[in-house]
Structure formats: C-alpha cells, structure tokens
Structure 1
Amino acid sequence: MANTTGINRAQFLAGALALGTAGALLPSGQAAAEAQAAATGPRGLRRHGVVYTVGAGETPATAWSPCRMRADLRAIRDELHADTVEVTGDGVDRLTATAARAAELGLHIWLQPTLADVPERDILEHLAETGRFAERLRRQGASVDLSVGCEFWLFVPGIVPGATVLDRVENLLNGAFDPVGTQRRLDAFTKKAAALGRSVFHGSLGYAAAQDDEVDWNLFDIVGIDYYSYFRQPADHVRELHRYQRWGKPVAVTEFGTCAYKGAEKTAGMGWNVVDHDKSPEEIKGHPVRSEHTQAAYVVDLLEVFESMGLYGAMAFEFVTPDAPHRAHDPRHDLDMASYALTRTVEDRPFDPGSPWHWEPKEAFHALARRYGHRARVMRRRCSSGPK
C-alpha cells in the first residue's frame, strides 16, 4: 500500500484542534537473555520506553526522514537509555523502516499503526500490512509487540459522528452523540481489529485505550492505557491503575507525560490546549509560565508509581514534536510549552517553515535518562551474574 497520511496522535496533542527495510536484527541469544533478566530482575517495569511518532509533518522540514530517524533511535538507546520504543503514526513505509532500525539496535518495539480520517477498510489494510511486517521481525528474533491502534473513537470515522477528528471531538464535547450506539460501534471495530491483528501477527497483541474507554480486554494479551491523570498522592494513581490489572494481564502505559509550563500536570492530558491556532503565527493563549521542572517532576513521579506496581511497561509521550518549536526569547510563540516532548525543537531560522532544526534534551529527558540508565545497569548486573 502506498503511504497514506492522516492526523496522528502527536499532531492531535500538539494542536490539531486548531487546525522499510529490515536489516540485521537482534544479536543471537539476546531474546533469551532478555527473558532471563525479566524473570530474575528486581520488581519494577519490564519495559522502559518512549513514544516515537512517524508522520508526514506539517512541512517538509518537519517530516519524518530516514537519516533523522536513525540518529533519534540511537539517542533513545544510548542517551535516554530506553529499552523500548513505541513506533506509532501512519504510513506503512515509515512505520516498518523505523521498527526495523529499532530492532537492529536491540530495542524492544511496541508497533502501533495509527491512521485517521479514512475509510475503515483502509485503516484495517494499514494495520494488516504493518502487522505482517511485525510478524516477520518477530520471526527473525526481534522483540516486538503489536498494538492494533490507539483510541479508535477518536481516529476511526463512523464510531463517533463526524468526518474528521475535529468534528468528532466537537460532537463529543457538545454531547452530540449516542453513548449506547457509540459503545456498540467501538466494540465492533475493536473486535474486528483484534481478529485481524491475530491473523497476521502471532506475538503479544495489545491496544492503546483512553482511560475511560470500555474495552473487552479478553481480545488482547496486553492491556494498554494512555494515562494522563493527576493526583497529589501516589496511592491515588495506584488505586486508579489497579482496575486495569483485574484482567490478570500485563498492563502497559502506552502514553504518559505533560507539558512544560506550571500547572500543566493538572490538566488531565489537555495541557496542549493553550495554543491559539487562529493566529498567524500561532501563539500561546494567556500567560502560562514555562517550567521544564513541572514536566520532569510529573514523569518521574508517575514512573515511580508504575515501578511500584510492577507494570509491563511505560512509554513516555513523546521523544520529539518538530511542529512545536521552542523560542526561548519569545514566550508568546514558544509552542514547545504546549508540547509533551522530552526534547525541545530549535529552529535555525525561527518562523521559517523551511528552516533546518535540531532537538535539545529538556529536564524531563535528563530525569528519565537517569532512571532508565540506573535500571539498565541493574539489569546488566543481574544478567552477568546469572547462570553461565
């Protein structure tokens, strides 16, 4: 299938309301060593990861590129010290090339195609092609889980009324939908996607649901949740997350994080909604105060909760958001404040859509790198001291 673009999760969270090739894979024996480490390691998360979104970008300058992807994945492994990457977005070629490179680097892969605002048959075909590639990776020794998608009510037309993501969000906010019919249609599509996923992929199957979604988790091997709650006490997070463990299956937090301004952590996943997209150039609404510390503290606090519960894995949202640049000396246009990215995008020529850019680590990046790096060192010691 040719590359098909749509609104991906990163674009939506960054402000959409305004609107492959496989090479050498895992070294021989790595999968066995990983399984041994998981079985003998200390209590905590099995997978420490980050979301990496592939997509067409808002401009050619911010679009996915093979060269940038390869450098980013190496940084995810060697600088962030993540052992897992959630490869998500649309375009089978982009998804598979990124997953193949992640496998070459020895990363565990949560492969999650997310195609939006196209007919259901196209979404399912996109899933099938991606899933078949995931199965080829798995058979060659890669460590990979397949997610059949993300928050179907948002991305798949026909579940909630509305032809586009924007229409569906508006109808949900206005109450212009039938809850019973919506749930029935969501259940039907989820069942169809799960069956298709099983038919092409024979490893562990998952799905990334919104926190309030009602999902029949009997269809999946892994319970996946996009988690953006705020509580002052860790025990309240534990209590909320515990309900997902009642299925007796591994629980993966498929997204978590917040934006880089004071109070963003209290917005329940709506921190991105401080950008006025009707302005040109886009600008920040109100007077939020930039605070990378807010973002860093939130992700570390949640990571400690996930570790304490021994969840299957957690993927911080997200590694980079190229279409939300940081403008250090212009707070009104510092779109990075409304980004969940662990890195800030810095343009060579601010406000030029064709400008080259690079990313720099934010406080949240360094905070997670310390935690992920410590865990990696502990696991290596466990492996090296195990049976010879």
Structure 2
Amino acid sequence: MEEPKGIKQAKGISRSQFLAGAAAVGIAGAVGPKGQARATEARPGRGLRRRGVVYTVGAGETPGTAWSARRMRHDIRAIRDDLHADTVDVTGDGVERLTSTAAEAAERGLHVWLQPTLGDAPQRDILEHLAETGRFAERLRRQGASVDFSVGCEFWLFVPGILPGETVLDRIRHLQNGTVDWPRTLRRLADFTAKAAKAGRSVFKGNLGYAAAQSIDDPDWSLFDIVGIDYYAHFEKPSDHVRELKQYLRWGKPLAITEFGTCAYAGAPETGGMGWDIVDYDKEPPEIKGNPVRSERVQADYVGGLLDVFASMGLYAAMAFEFISADAPHRPETPRLDLDMASYALTKVIKDHPDDPASDWHWEPKEAFRAVARRYGRHG
C-alpha cells in the first residue's frame, strides 16, 4: 500500500479505508477473538431484523459537498421509499449534524443506529462528544423512536493515545513501520473502550453497541448489548462467509454488520477493504491509477450476495457502506477522473459542471442500489 500523503488525501480517504490500509500492513489477526463466550446461532432462515445503510455526516472537502439539511432530508426519504431500508446508521462527527439527521430518520419511521465518530481529538473531547450525542439518542428513545446507540468504531486507530501518533496519518506510519507496542496498545484500547462504554451507559438506557474491525479489534463485548463488525471479507463461497461470521455469535448477543461493501470495478471484491487504493491523491485533481474497468455489476453482485448471507443467518442488522460519497464524483467521459469507481457508495454523484469544484450536483442510483432495494423491499 502507498502511504497516504498530506491532509487533502486524508480527507479523501474514509474511515473504513484507513482501516483497510492498516490491515494491509500486516496487523490483521494480531488481535483475535478471545473465544470465551458460548457459541450460538442467530435466527437462521428468518432474514435480517434490521435492513440498513450507512449515512455519513461531515464537513466535506468543499462547502458544496458538506452536509446540508436540505440534501439530508431528501436522502432520508429516498433511503426509506426507494432503497426500502428500515434502518439508518447515522455516523460521523458534529453533534448538530448527527442529531438533526437522527431526528429526521426517526420522524420518517426509521430505526436509528446513532454512532458518533469524532477522531484525532483529545480523548476527553471524544468522550464529551459521545455523551452529548448519546443524550440526544436517549431523548429520541424516550419519545418512542427506535434507537440503538454505538459509542464509536475502531478506537485503536482513530483515538489518539492508543497507538503512537497524533493523527490517523501518523498512526498509519507507525503501523507500516512496525513501531507498535501491541501489549501496551491493547491495554490502552481496553481502557478507553471501557470509558466509552461507561459514558454511553451513563446517558443512554437502550441497547449499546460498538463497531469493531473484523479480525483486528477485540473489545470486551460484555460491555455492550450488540456486537458490531465492519465486514470487508472476500470469499468465493457463501458458506465461507457464514463460517467467518459465526465466530462473532459466540457471545450470545445480536450481531450487527455495521459496514460492508465494495467498489464499482472489476476485481474490487478480491481486494477486501483495499478497493479505494486505485486513486492517486498526490495528483491534482486526484486520478485513478492503472486501467481498472468500471463495473457496477461487480459491486451489485458482491453487496447482494452478502445480504443473502446475512439474511440466511438471521443476523440482527446489516448496514451497507454507504449511501453516498459526495467527494467522489462519477466522470464517465474521463475514466481517469472517475473517482466513483473507488467509492463504496450505492449512489453515484453527478456534477452539473464536472471541472468546476463549486458546481452543484445530484446523485443517481447504481446497480448496487437496485440490488439492495430489491432485497430490502422483498423482505420488508
């Protein structure tokens, strides 16, 4: 993997993409499940209990791609009426953005998985951001909304003070260089996870969760009511996915797939979580590296196939990653600038004026959107 360079590139790579980069440098498997809790089956043959999609709120790379209340309201309606989802994973930072989006989703009758993910800030600030968001989640719950609250995700990479380095970029460098004291890291991770769970419990009285990295993160699941896993595995056979996922049922708790997906080009599923790595962010504007072949069908088949696996296991929830990536526009006329190829989104962003950074834009559904909508509509 090429090391990310500069702040602009950091903005261009999502949280889950940094996770994939960390896994690529050889720490995957360094932390494995304890295997202490009893094995249990979910609800085989009964389908998914929650059918969801990740909706990220954030400041965006430009004012035009930042979160806006108007766009959010349009998107939430589309998630319910067109995607046929019954759950929205509202994630990102900014308490006002998080709470406004969660309130809109609840008002539209959707189940809310609310997950604040403030990163690269002092631990005290992250915990305060978590608690303030959790207080709002509790108000929604008391008003009758259906809400689960997640205290965050993959703390070991995104919370300073667990791994060495002040920023995600710094921590990635330490991972690449092998300069990580894992026993110390695990102690720090356990300590912060316990603090986060305590903060969440103090303000939210419903089901508490956390989104862990597949095969890397190893939280104490006794602290939580729901096991959450960001899942970016590639197997040829559905039975191999089932075998991989069964290990997360051993705690006897509901299993939520808090992220899953792939990109829209041939061969993307085989890269696991590294599908984003076909973009050269050192270029201005960023360019696609090599000559990947765009294929929305590849993305649709992978996402649809995983949904079939999750439904066959009767899992608690699955949240497709993600609804939209506003900073990765589709450029069919210029393949080397078609950043949507490296996006996990179910929709493609079309700019009115492709060469104008300030141009207005809209989204259109990809084949993966329709694959998800068919399954969610059928089971709904």
Q: Same fold (TM over 0.5)?
A: yes
Q: 1:228 and 1:242 mapped to 2: Cα distance?
A: 15
Q: Counterpart amino acid of 1:346? A: I
Post-superposition Cα deviations, 1:235-279, rounded to whole Å, max 9, x if no partner, equal 111111001000000000000000000111011111011110000
Secondary structure, aligned partner of 2:275: coil
**Alignment match of 2:262 (pick from 243, 258, 265):** 258
How far the C-alpha of 1:349 sits from its partner, in A, is 1.0
Q: 2:322 aligned to 318, 321, 326, which one? A: 318
Match of 2:226 among 222, 225, 250: 222
List aligned pairs for 1:56-67, cutoff 5 A.
56-67=59-70
Check whether the contact 1:14–1:338 (CA below 8 A) recurs between aligned residues.
no
What's the CA shift for 1:16? 11
Q: Is the 8 A contact 2:210 2:227 kept in 1?
A: yes
Listed as ranges, the matches of 1:60-209 within 5 Å are: 60-209=63-212
CA distance in 2, matches of 1:214, 1:285: 34
Greater displacement, 135-144 / 262-271? 262-271
Q: Secondary structure at the match of 1:247?
A: coil
Quote the residue 1:47 is aligned against: 50
Counterpart contact for 2:116–2:129, Cα < 8 Å:
yes
Task: State the Cα distance separating 1:327 from its structure 2 match.
Answer: 0.1
Q: Which runs of 5+ in 1 are unaligned?
A: 1-6, 19-39, 377-388
CA distance in 1, matches of 2:59, 2:208: 26
Shift of 1:167: 1.2
Give per-residue Cα distances to partners, 1:34-92, cap 9 Å, x unaligned.
Answer: xxxxxx99701100000000000000000000000000000000000000000000000
TM-score, scaled relative to structure 1: 0.87
2:20/2:273 contact within 8 Å kept:
no
Question: Taking structure 1 as reference, are residues 125 and 242 closer, same or farther at Cα in structure 2, changes over 3 Å only?
Answer: same
State how far apart, in whole Å, the 2-side matches of 1:373 and 1:10 are.
31
Partner of 1:278: 282
Structure with the greater relative contact order (CA < 8 A, sep ≥ 6): 1 or 2? 2
Q: Which stretch shifts more, 175-184 or 140-149?
A: 175-184
Residue 304 of structure 2, aligned match among 286, 295, 300: 300
C-alpha spacing 1:239/1:42, structure 2 compared with 1 (3 Å): closer
Q: Distance in 1 between matches of 2:16 and 2:358?
A: 22
Q: How much identity, in percent, do the aligned residues show?
A: 70
Matched residue, 2:33: none
Give the superposition deviation at 1:174. 2.0
Distance in 2 between the 1:253 and 1:17 partners? 16
Structure 2, unmatched stretches of 5+, are 1-9, 22-42
Does residue 372 of structure 2 align to residue 368 of structure 1? yes
State the AA in 1 paired with 2:75. Answer: D
- Assess if the C-alpha contact under 8 Å between 1:320 and 1:342 holds in 2: yes
Residues 241, 17 of structure 1: alpha-carbon distance in 2 compared, 3 angstrom cutoff: closer
Provide the aligned length of Structure 1 versus Structure 2: 349
Q: CA deviation at 1:171?
A: 1.3
RMSD: 1.9
Verify the 8 A CA contact 1:349 1:355 in the aligned structure 2: yes
- Which residue number in structure 2 is paired with residue 239 of structure 1? 243
